[in-house]
Amino acid sequence: MKKAFLIPALLLAVSAATAQTKNPVSSALRDILPGRQKNTIAAIEAMPADKFSYKPTPDQMTFGHLVAHMIGANNTLCSKAGSVPAPKVEEAKESDGKDKLVAALKASFDFCADTLAKMDDSKLSETTEVFPGHQASRAWASMVLASSWADHYAEAAMYLRLNGVLPPTAKK
């Protein structure tokens, strides 16, 4: 099979398996997580420590702030989607060193993996306060979670490229 046809065929197989499951949303999140976790962590690890204060323009966040934001988003959105309490962890700050931020990011993805492993779709219609002052369904939190993984990786990849570093998904 040609490489160009392998990816669509794989996606169809995953989509078919997800469509036939009793819990399509939570199953889809579990299917998506490993790749997003691997690529996002690899992207953060690829950025040199002295570039965590880098920001492309004065109005944009620093790379360290982006990582701290990812940590908070993972802990909050996985908690809300999975209907479990968020972990009690020290809030990540953009001024934290690379090692501390990478460790906290890994822990946030581990929390997501543990939470999603136990999640089913039975509570997706429940309303919860996803963010302060914003009520939404657990289904909404699940969709925002999946889109945030893609958005955060894309932003990290842009920061890497602006610093002459090839993002993980661009490597052969």
The per-residue pLDDT for 109 is 98
The per-residue pLDDT for 5 is 52
**Does the residue 8 lie in any domain?**
no
Which of left, alpha, beta for 128 (phi over 0: left; psi -120 to 50: alpha)? Answer: beta
**Does the residue 126 lie in any domain?**
yes
116 with 26: CB under 8 angstroms?
Answer: yes
**Does the residue 65 lie in any domain?**
yes
**Does the residue 150 lie in any domain?**
yes
Which regions of the chain are under pLDDT 50?
1, 18
CA 116 – CA 100 distance, rounded (Å)? 24
C-beta neighbour count of 37 within 10 angstroms: 20
Q: How many domains does the chain have?
A: 1
**Does the residue 15 lie in any domain?**
no
**Does the residue 12 lie in any domain?**
no
The domain that contains 150 carries what CATH number? Answer: 1.20.120.450
Provide CB contacts within 8 A for 50, sequence distance 6+: none
Q: Which domain holds residue 120?
A: 21-170
**Does the residue 16 lie in any domain?**
no
Rg (CA), the chain: 17
**Does the residue 2 lie in any domain?**
no
